[in-house]
Amino acid sequence: MRKFFIGFISLAAVIVIYLLYSRLGTTTLPDTAKQADFIDTIADSNMSDFESKVGRIGDIGVGTVEKANFITRNENQEVVREIGFERLLSKSRYIWETEKPFINIYRHNFICNITADTGTILVETAVGKTTPKDATFTSNVVVHIVPVGSGGVKESYIYLDDITFLSDKSLLSTANSVRYVSEDASMLGTGLELVYDDLLGRLEYLWIIDLESLHIKNSQAASLPGSKKQAEKPADTNGRPETKQPNAPDVAADKTTAQATLTQPASEQKKNEYYNCVFSENVLIDSPEQLVFAQDKIFINDILWSKTSSSQPGEADTDTQAASAAQPNNTAEVAEQSPQSTDSADTNNVAVAKPGEPNESPDKTQDTVITCDNGFIIALKDSPKILEKLAKTAIGTTEPAYRRPEKFDFAEGRKTFLARRIDYNALTDDVIATGASELKFYTADLGRTDPNKPALPVTVTAQQQVRFLPASNQAVFEGNCQAEMIQTDPNFQQQYKLLAPKLTIDLIKDANDRTSASTSGIEHFTADGGLVRLQSKKTAGRQLLGGTRLESRKLDYDPGKGLFVATGPGIITMDNSKISPSTAENGKFSLSKPSYAVVREFETLKYFIQENRIVADAPTEDGLIIDYFPVVNGKVQIDRQATVTTPHIQADFIKTVSGQSKLSTLSATGWIIYEDQDKQFDGSSLFYDADKSIVTVNGNQLRPCHLNGAPVNAIEWDLKNNSIKADVVGPAILQLK
Does residue 704 have a cis bond before it (omega within 30 degrees)?
Answer: no
Supply the pLDDT for residue 658. Answer: 65
Q: What sign for the dihedral angle of Cα 306, 307, 312, 315?
A: negative
Supply the pLDDT for residue 324. Answer: 35
Neighbouring CB atoms inside 10 A of 43's CB total 13
Q: Is 506 part of a structural domain of the chain?
A: no
Contact residues for 539 (Cβ-Cβ < 8 A; gap 6+): 492, 493, 495, 545
Out of 160-169, 303-312, 588-597, 658-667, give the one with best mean pLDDT.
160-169
Q: Is 394 part of a structural domain of the chain?
A: no
Out of 171-175, 484-488, 655-659, give the one with best mean pLDDT.
171-175
pLDDT at 580 over 90: no
Q: Give the model's confidence band at 715: pLDDT under 50 very low, under 70 low, under 90 confident, else very high.
A: very high
Q: Give the model's confidence band at 585: pLDDT under 50 very low, under 70 low, under 90 confident, else very high.
A: low
Domain that holds residue 716: 562-737
Pairing of strands 415-425, 290-305: parallel
Supply the pLDDT for residue 288. Answer: 84
Q: How many residues belong to the chain?
A: 737
pLDDT at 373 over 70: yes
- Residue of 340 and 196 predicted with greater confidence: 196
Element (H, E) at 320: helix 318-326
Q: Is 451 part of a structural domain of the chain?
A: no
Supply the pLDDT for residue 733. Answer: 52
Q: Give 85-91 contacts, CB < 8 A, sequence gap 24+.
A: 85/119, 85/121, 85/236, 86/236, 86/239, 86/347, 88/50, 88/54, 88/61, 88/63, 88/64, 89/64, 90/54, 90/60, 90/61, 90/62, 90/63, 91/50, 91/54, 91/60, 91/61
Write out pLDDT tens, residues 64-114.
556 677 788 888 888 888 888 888 888 777 788 888 988 888 877 788 899
Q: Is 694 part of a structural domain of the chain?
A: yes
- Cα separation, 253 vs 237, in Å, equals 8
Domain end position, chosen among 381, 406, 428: 381
Out of 224-233, 398-407, 623-632, 667-676, give the one with best mean pLDDT.
667-676
User: For the chain, what is the domain count?
Assistant: 2
Q: What is the CATH number of the domain that holds 641?
A: 2.60.450.10
Backbone φ, ψ for residue 181 (5° rounding): -140, 130
Write out 109-129 in H/E/C secondary structure: CEEEEEECCEEEEEEEEECCE
Domain end position, chosen among 381, 401, 430: 381
Backbone φ, ψ for residue 679 (5° rounding): -150, 165
- Cα separation, 572 vs 556, in Å, equals 15
Q: Is 682 part of a structural domain of the chain?
A: yes
Q: What is the mean pLDDT of residues 121-135?
A: 76
- Residue of 246 and 358 predicted with greater confidence: 358
Q: What percent of the chain has pLDDT over 90?
A: 25
Q: How far is CA 66 from the centre of its chain?
A: 52
Question: Do 363 and 213 meet the contact criterion of CB atoms below 8 Å apart?
Answer: no
Residue type, 666: L
Backbone φ, ψ for residue 10 (5° rounding): -60, -45
Does residue 132 have a cis bond before it (omega within 30 degrees)?
Answer: no
- Cα separation, 415 vs 215, in Å, equals 19
281: left (phi over 0), alpha (psi -120 to 50) or beta: left
Q: Where are the alpha helices (DSSP H) in 156-307?
A: 255-260
Q: Give the model's confidence band at 21: pLDDT under 50 very low, under 70 low, under 90 confident, else very high.
A: very low
Element (H, E) at 389: helix 384-391
Supply the pLDDT for residue 349. Answer: 34
Q: Is 475 part of a structural domain of the chain?
A: no
Q: Give the model's confidence band at 447: pLDDT under 50 very low, under 70 low, under 90 confident, else very high.
A: low
Supply the pLDDT for residue 389. Answer: 60
Question: Do 137 and 175 meet the contact criterion of CB atoms below 8 Å apart?
Answer: no
Q: What is the mean pLDDT of residues 588-612?
A: 83
Supply the pLDDT for residue 178. Answer: 92
Domain end position, chosen among 381, 413, 431: 381
Q: Is 29 part of a structural domain of the chain?
A: no
Helices (H) and strands (E) counted in the chain, each on its own, are: 7, 39
Supply the pLDDT for residue 236. Answer: 47
Transcribe 574-638 into DSSP letters: EE-TTSPPPTT---TT-TTSSEEEEEEEEEEEEEETTTTEEEEE--TTT-EEEEEEEEETTEE-G
Supply the pLDDT for residue 357. Answer: 45
Supply the pLDDT for residue 707. Answer: 92
Q: Is 517 part of a structural domain of the chain?
A: no
Strand partners, 119: 98, 137
Supply the pLDDT for residue 63. Answer: 46
- Cα separation, 6 vs 426, in Å, equals 10
